[in-house]
Structure 1
Amino acid sequence: MSQFTVSGQFQSRDGHSKFETVVDAPNENVARDHVFSNIGSQHGLKRPQIEISEVSEQ
């Protein structure tokens, strides 16, 4: 598995909050899904409220 750095922003009460996280995944699409799932569950958000701007492999 590869490591991917995923960055973007999500809607919060104060506007938009930026994030950057490292995810172990076999490919870029799975890395995106993991980030949508993790941030959505932590902050009570749906996928359209999360915007991923960059995915890069380390």
Structure 2
Amino acid sequence: MSQFTVSGRFQMRNGFQEFTKRVEAPNDSVAREHVLSQLGSEHNLKRTQIEIGEVTAA
């Protein structure tokens, strides 16, 4: 599996919060899904509240 760096922002009460996550996944679309799932469970967010800007192989 490859390492991917996923960056973007998510909606908070008082604006947007930037994030950068590093995940291990077989491809970039699976890396996106992992980050969406992780942020949703940690911050109680819906997928529409998360904007992924960039996915790069590390």
Query: Does TM-score exceed 0.5, indicating one fold?
Result: yes
Query: Which deviations, in whole Å up to 9, do the C-alpha atoms of 1:5-30 show, x marking residues without a partner?
Result: 00000000120000001000000000
Identity %: 60
Q: Which residue of 1 aligns with 2:29?
A: 29
TM-score normalised by the chain length of structure 2: 0.98
Structure 1 residue ranges, 4+ long, deviating more than 4 angstroms after superposition: none
Q: CA RMSD in A?
A: 0.4
Q: Distance in 2 between matches of 1:38 and 1:3?
A: 16
1:54 equivalenced with 2:54 (yes/no)? yes
1:54 shift after superposition: 0.2
Gaps of 5+ in 2: none
Gaps of 5+ in 1: none
Q: Which residue of 1 aligns with 2:11?
A: 11
**What is the count of residue pairs matched by the alignment?**
58
